[in-house]
Chains A and B, each alone.
Chain A
Amino acid sequence: MDTLVCNHKRQRAKLALEDGRIFPGFSFGATGTALGEVVFNTSLAGYQEILTDPSYKGQMVTMTYPLIGNYGVNEEDVESHKPFVEAFIVKECSRIASNWRSTMTLDEYLKKNNIIGIEGVDTRAITRHARLQGAMKAVLSTEDLDDKSLVAKAKASTGLVGVDLVKEVTSSEIKHWTKEGKYKVVVLDCGVKLNILRELAGLDCQVIVVPASTTAEEILALNPDGLMLSNGPGDPAAVTYVVETVKQLIGKLPMFGICLGHQMLGQALGGKTYKLKFGHHGGNQPVKDLKTGKIDISVQNHGFCVDIDSLNKDDIEITHINLNDQTLEGIRHKKLPIISVQFHPEACPGPHDSKYLFKQFMEMIENA
């Protein structure tokens, strides 16, 4: 059958969720079969930044905004060197790229990077389903269109729990991202977004990015003024080697953890993590700063969380909580220069809300 765009014969594709829901649509990008967890993103623009965000490793991203790909893809608007999403789910993918900067269409870009896309599905319905039913394992295929077989595959897939995805996305060697700066900050790369690096560089930091497997000694040998624990994908409990490194560095360096980095720090400080039934996805996540009473409307993408009760309250102060489900969103060490937040204070794309945390990190370094 023809697709929404009348001139092209288009290949069918199907998205199947582990609970049996099927969303038929049409293929774009690469063909084949992909497995992953279905999550959504509510940004109006900025799809290229989302595709290249390493935190999405292991996940299929559904864009709730119906028109995607209109301005094509270019070299600059990236959050890392390549796209990491397992699959891309949109309502309508633009056939052309209407922008002077674009080097290719979204379709071409996904083909080139071997990522499967599906269009012509009601992305709002998928999002609603994910909001009501929680995170869900899924399969997207252009080869197998049999509903039963697809659902079985989705159910049988490993999912995110217990899987170390950090090793898939971290950098392979130490990189000096900026050569100069007032403070030397090491970024432990669990899948860092470039925007975090840009933010640090903007605050006059000399930024050194190191692989996730870098040891405490190796980090200290770089003689940094502070340590940034980056965001990243997947189950924090599976990344034990990073937790170990962090444990050894506590008390030795000012630290700032974001998202997965926050979860690493939480574990290093003796806390436990668990999988949320309803992960936090999309913009409009209300986060309360318990000190000021202010509410941040943040962008988030995580399915795991540090258990608020597992933390030792003598040492650790709860600074932020999520108002939707009262889960932990941020902590501060009462004695040491350590802060971390579950949400993305650098947020690209999304509301530029919480940049003050970066400044706080700088102050911690200054006073250390």
Chain B
Amino acid sequence: MPRRDDIKKVLIIGSGPIIIGQACEFDYSGTQACKALKEEGYEVVLVNSNPATIMTDPGMADKTYIEPLTIESIEKIIEKERPDALLPNLGGQTALNLSASLSKAGILKKYNVEVIGVKTDAIERGEDRIIFKETMNKLGIEMPTSEPCHSVEEAEKIAEKIGYPVVLRPAYTMGGTGGGIAYNIEELRTIVSRGLSVSIVHQVLVEESVIGWEELELEVVRDAKGQKITVCFIENIDAMGVHTGDSFCAAPMLTVPEKLQKRMQEAAYKIVDAIGVTGGTNVQFAHNLKDDRLVVIEINPRTSRSSALASKATGFPIARISTKLAAGLTMDEIPYWKEGTLEKYAPSGEYVVIKFARWAFEKFPGSQDVLGTQMRAVGEVMSIGKNFKEAFLKAIRSLEIKRYGLGGAKDFKELSLDRLKEKLANPSSERIFLVYEALRKGMSPEELYKLTHIGIWFLTQMQELVQFEEKVLTCKWEDLADEQLIEAKKLGFADKYLAGLFNVDEKKIRDKRIALGMHGRFEAVPVSGVENAAYYYSTYNAEDTVPVSLNKKIMILGGGPNRIGQGIEFDYTCVHAAFTLRDEGYESIMVNCNPETVSTDYDTSNKLYFEPLTVEDVLTIYEKEKPEGVIVQFGGQTPLNIAQELKDNGVKILGTTPESIHLAEDRERFREKMIALGVPQPESGIARSLEEAIDISEKIGYPLMVRPSYVLGGRGMEVIYDQVMLKRYAIEAIQVSPEHPMLIDRFLEDAIEAEVDALSDGENTFVASIMEHIELAGVHSGDSACAIPPHSIPEKHIKTIEGYTAKIAKELEVVGLMNIQYAICDDKVYILEANPRASRTVPIVSKIMGIQTARIATQLMLGKKLKDFPELKSEKVSYVGVKEAVFPFNMFPEVDPLLGPEMRATGEVMGIADSFAKAFYKAEEAAGAKLPVKGNILLTVADRDKPALLPIAEHVKKLGFNIYATEGTGTYLKAHGIDTTFVKKVHEGRPNVSDSIKNKEIQLVINTPVGRTSKYDDSYIRMMAIQHKVPYITSMAAAQASIEGIEAVNNADIAPKALQDYYKE
């Protein structure tokens, strides 16, 4: 069937902000969807609240709406744009759920919008656990025994029938949100009540536990004719019980017999036929090794994290193909392999792909490093190798956790076998490293299998690595036989890891292996469904078969795995660099190992190397390709960490030099520079011991801002109010990074923080925009909401900031992008820090200001000057964009959801409107905290915030809200003539705040923390608010902005508007 001509305009819903369980893989799939639809000649309308995405670039769709992903907002867009069709299955669970809700609400019917790809009834058949189970029964496909419940009591009865442990799965959620394993009735009650509250249909499935079974996944694609292919067979190496997002996996399946693979394929085909999906579907199975029982766990009738992985692992662009199939094409019309067509696809390839997750437990003190049915990973890496060991060790070094192999992590090598066993009893993010040490201590794969349920074959592979390691360790580097070094490289050991084992310089290892002819060689992964495309991976186990062109080339180093503080924003800049290089006549070469991204899409760059971002791996590619230079300033901290070493090895770095970047990070030298330039900084000092820290604190005075040097995302940063805190911190901080000193700054209280993204050609500088943070200084810039352009900074300070920025850029000889953070305190501008590299605000600034900053920065690095861009003028825009951060606190229920100097946001959203207040309201709505326009507001603030609360409370009253207040706050307000309803804190008896929140009496919580000195912790208020989805605000600045937003919405309707229309103004 050819493409449908009865459809002209298609609406795509994106997945919104990056959260745990839903990350930039949906930018990858959404971007492919936009491209595929445009290729077929359709008009594309896109809505997504996430500004950091490539898909929301104005060139990707005809109309781009950065608007909240709510029914109301999308209805308005549909009303305005009148699309013929809606594509629901490319924007993750968010888009799928929204599409289902839009259909249920009759909106699609009202505006005559047809759902293409996955019809709404198919969504229901796939997602509703009751209907799905009925369908499976009809098909004769087994599932774990289970029953749905709608209440805790019901759950108890079912669990008794099935027997503990039971798995609890809320309907219509992703990333296993709110689910869990209950071993007893108490755990059951807790998890079920949490699960019921997060499920949009208040339904939780109580399921027989299949913990310890093999977890296997198929990615199948079906077209409208009912033709089906299997793109990829994925083997989760962690067994059932660890969420697939946290599991490490292999593709193709390595230890699953052909017959079982066929059995799963047959079941999967029956399922997608019965559900009626057009496009890609992920089908998850559990297989019991003891009795060969095979059960279906669930399906995802949409692109997913697994489909992104499957696409990258096989070279089959699932999202692109799914989109074309939704547009009416069938697989027999899409090319594959020498005049063949796609319905004949079968997976092939001669390599092993490993996926490994990256976690961020260290960011959430108090959270437990335990892996279960709820996903905890914030990012992942993919590696390709010729054998399992090579791919696996590559995956480890791709993670960028300062580990280059499996051994010697933390103190694990010193732990006794008993202690290791104890630690291995519960799956954690460290399990593989613990397994390695347990193997070293002589534990057998069979015993370890019983403890971890990791397949014996995989454990044996690790055992062989550890045995090799132990054997070579018996000799010194000088005595190591050539054959042993060759074998080590064939097994996949990194130079750096070997350097650590033998305690020699990495370069020594490199020189010797190259002298032995052991240089990395390359092989191709061909791309299906398009002609002549491929990407590449290195191996020490084959001949080099990848040709090199004679073109002018430039290499871009990507950002590696997503983590808190470094995510999709850096991928955005890298992608733009690749596009620009191509336009400028260069061959672009991308190096990255993150399968979720657009940068690792096959057509983003001319050549993609799917490789770890370590010195060894990058040098190998550099030496093969011999590019004219390497761009390191776009991939976040990742490439910067290796930039100097690359340069020392003869690599030409484009743009700002590694020395300048280093200087900006060297506090002492940077301070000297600032003094010389006359740019004020908060008083500060550097302490190398506790005594020095105390001396400095006495000189500067509390409060203080302290941090270790060389960090991104504010790792380890804290505000210190007294000496007790200081002492505790100094000891911890110095433990965190012993080679690096501790930095102490005066904490600027009540300061407004402003941030600048600037472009520089080494001489001249252009400030793309100043961003004004809503939260005051002290909250990490990545966690703070901010407004572009600034809405309250006086013109004179703007001029000062621009002047300082130009001076600093010139001094640091910045060529490319630079980000500087300032604070305005007592009418004076201070510089907080400068980063001569792309920042996470580049995409949002580009989008609001309509300036392609990453593109221009790339051109500057290629030698252009700012004067070549006459269109760059400091123009005022007539609208405001507000960024709001999105946090994973719902995934870490035990953690106090407070903002501080350490970044904890996983993603961001943007609201854009003609006024700050409206934009802020939209941003909050997009972040999932829709502000109420009527009802009750709870006010409970710290003493120091009480004066600032008065005008807010008055304003709230005027807007018609009732005020609930706790005793201290209420008394203060009453004394100033404002009446409140008194509520008890939890330790004061019942009914209390907790009851009011549970009973939905409270529509908005404004709560600033009383601090650690307070006798009673008030963190439960914020945790309650999250659990019960009540918007909560923890700073006075945000409270003020919220009230303005509420007022603006009271007075005027908020309308959606496309980016392209804003630019026309």
Contact = CB atoms under 8 A, between A and B. Distances in A.
B729 interface: no
B525 to A, nearest CB: 13
Contact of B457 (A5, A70, A351): A70
Nearest to B288: A100
Contacts of A91: 386-387, 541
Contact of B490 (A4, A46, A124, A283): A4
B254 A67 contact: yes
Contacts of B347: 44
Interface string B448-473: 00000001111010001001100100
Given A67-B254, A95-B460, A6 B487 contact: yes
B256 interface: yes
Contacts of B543: 122, 124-125
Contact of B259 (A77, A96, A100, A324): A77
A45 B338 contact: no
A45 B256 contact: yes
Contacts of B388: 67
A328 B196 CA distance: 63
A286 to B, nearest CB: 5
Contacts of A101: 257, 292
Given A95-B460, A100-B290, A323-B339, A42 B348 contact: yes
Interface stretch (B137-145, B153-161, B316-324, B349-357): B349-357
Contacts of A348: 258
Interface residues of B, number: 51
A295 B340 contact: yes
Interface in A23-47: 42-46
A296 interface: yes
A284 B337 CA distance: 8
B261 interface: yes
Interface string B339-373: 11100111111111000000000000000000000
A337 B472 CA distance: 68
Nearest to A100: B289
Nearest to B459: A98
Q: Which of A42, A96, A297 has the most C-beta atoms of chain B within 10 angstroms of its own C-beta?
A: A297
B257 A77 contact: yes
Q: Which of B258, B261, B352, B523 has the most C-beta atoms of chain A within 10 angstroms of its own C-beta?
A: B258
B491 interface: yes
A71 B255 contact: yes
B339 A349 contact: no
A128 B346 CA distance: 20
B71 interface: no
Nearest to B258: A46
Nearest to B340: A295
Interface string B223-257: 00000000001000000000000000000111111
B403 to A, nearest CB: 22
A294 interface: yes
Given A98-B457, A351-B346, A4 B339 contact: no
A345 to B, nearest CB: 13
Q: How large is the interface on A (under 10, 10 to 19, 20 to 34, 35 or more residues)?
A: 35 or more
A45 B336 contact: no
A351 B344 contact: yes
Nearest to B385: A66
Given A66-B387, A323-B338, A324-B338, A283 B255 contact: no
A77 B258 contact: yes
A99 B542 contact: no
Interface in A147-194: none
A94 B336 contact: no
Interface string A87-131: 000011011111111000000000000000000001111001000
A231 B15 CA distance: 52
B332 interface: yes
B292 A122 contact: no
B292 A6 contact: no
A6 B468 contact: yes
B467 A7 contact: yes
A297 B457 contact: no
A283 B350 CA distance: 13
A91 B387 CA distance: 9
Contacts of A125: 542-543
B875 interface: no
Contacts of A42: 348, 350
Interface string A1-33: 110111100000000000000000000000000
Contact of B258 (A92, A100, A323, A349): A349
B348 A74 contact: no
A266 interface: no
Contacts of A295: 339-341, 344
B292 to A, nearest CB: 7
B483 interface: yes
Contact of B491 (A4, A66, A123): A4
A297 B344 contact: yes
Nearest to A347: B346
B258 A45 contact: yes
Interface in A319-363: 323-324, 348-351, 353
Q: Which of A66, A95, A296, A348 has the most C-beta atoms of chain B within 10 angstroms of its own C-beta?
A: A66
Nearest to B523: A124
B991 to A, nearest CB: 57
Interface in B482-536: 483, 487, 490-491, 523
Contacts of A124: 350, 523, 542-543, 545
Contacts of B254: 67, 70
Nearest to B336: A297
A352 B483 CA distance: 44
Nearest to B290: A100
A302 interface: no
B519 to A, nearest CB: 16
A123 B541 CA distance: 10
Contacts of B471: 6
Nearest to B456: A98
A65 B344 contact: no
A76 interface: yes
A141 interface: no
A251 to B, nearest CB: 35
B542 A122 contact: yes
Interface string B288-332: 011010000000000000000000000000000000000000001
A71 B346 contact: no
A288 interface: yes
Contacts of B456: 96, 98
Contact of A297 (B346, B386, B523): B346
Contact of B352 (A67, A77, A98): A67
Contacts of B289: 99-100
A55 interface: no
B497 to A, nearest CB: 16
Contacts of B490: 4
Contacts of A296: 340, 344
Nearest to A6: B468
A76 B262 CA distance: 14
B293 to A, nearest CB: 11
9 closest residue pairs by CB, A with B? A98-B457, A297-B344, A46-B258, A351-B346, A295-B340, A6-B468, A98-B255, A45-B258, A100-B289
Interface of A: 1-2, 4-7, 42-46, 48-49, 64-67, 70-71, 74, 76-77, 91-92, 94-101, 122-125, 128, 283-284, 286, 288, 294-297, 323-324, 348-351, 353
Given A44-B252, A124-B543, A323-B338, 17 more contacts: A2-B483, A6-B464, A42-B350, A44-B348, A44-B349, A45-B253, A66-B387, A67-B352, A67-B388, A77-B259, A96-B445, A284-B348, A286-B337, A294-B332, A324-B338, A351-B344, A351-B346
Interface of B: 233, 252-259, 261, 289-290, 292, 332, 336-341, 344-352, 386-388, 445, 455-458, 460, 464, 467-468, 471, 483, 487, 490-491, 523, 541-543, 545
9 contacts: A1-B483, A42-B348, A77-B257, A77-B259, A95-B460, A98-B455, A98-B457, A98-B460, A350-B346
